[in-house]
Amino acid sequence: MLADNEITDTIKKYNIIFIFMFAIFKIYPKLSKIFNKYLFLSQLITKLMIQKLNLPDFEFKYQIKDNKKFIFDEIRKKYIVLTEEEWVRQNILKYFLSYLNYPKYLLGVEKSIKVFNTIKRPDIVVYSTKLEPKMIVECKKPDVVISKDTLNQAINYYIELKPSFFLLTNGLRHYCCTIVEKELLFLNEIPKFDDLQRY
């Protein structure tokens, strides 16, 4: 708890700051607009990301355009509309790059592939150094339960691309699987890039 004199001192400090900011904005109105824009951006980002993911905390670049929220995708090298599913995908990508040593140039994001005569776009494809698909990643929003349908979707990609692994995640739960002799096996952790290359 703060003592009364500490509370008074704190109030005085904030009053001085607000008076100073008001004077600056009065002299330079454009600064006020810039400040409000970034304050608005911060509030929007915070509101969207109340859901803490089961992943380390990462730093991202954000942008607001036409009242829409965007996040910078390091793989596609452009700003992408920030949805809850995109939030999961960007965090998984950061995890791959920062913790599992996956090279950027071997990660494909929403690349079109043909599955049973239909064009599909898996969230992430991890390639080997020989450019062979090694892992398919399917991302869902945090409030979407990873279900049998999600698994079937990944298996369809597996049939077409024949990767060694596939990862199903909603940012809170991560299921990394492989198929050995037609049996589905769940791994205890997501393989690092060097381990991925051995399969």
What sections of the chain are H helices per DSSP? Answer: 4-27, 29-48, 84-99, 148-161, 193-196
- 117 vs 6, higher pLDDT: 117
| Sheet of 62-65, strands arranged across | 62-65, 68-73, 78-81
What average pLDDT score do residues 57-79 get?
91
pTM over 0.85: no
Summarised one tens digit per residue, pLDDT across range 154-189 is 777 777 778 889 899 999 999 998 888 778 889 999
Residue 16 has pLDDT above 90, yes or no: no
- What band does 20 get if pLDDT is binned at 50, 70 and 90? low
- What band does 197 get if pLDDT is binned at 50, 70 and 90? confident
Which structure tokens are listed for 172?
């809170």
Summarised one tens digit per residue, pLDDT across range 102-152 is 999 999 998 877 666 777 788 999 999 999 889 999 999 999 998 888 787
Question: Could you give the CA distance from residue 40 to residue 62 in angstroms, rounded to a whole number?
Answer: 12
Question: Could you give the CA distance from residue 164 to residue 199 in angstroms, rounded to a whole number?
Answer: 6
Structural domains present in the chain:
49-196 (3.90.1570.30)
Are the C-beta atoms of 78 and 43 separated by less than 8 Å?
no
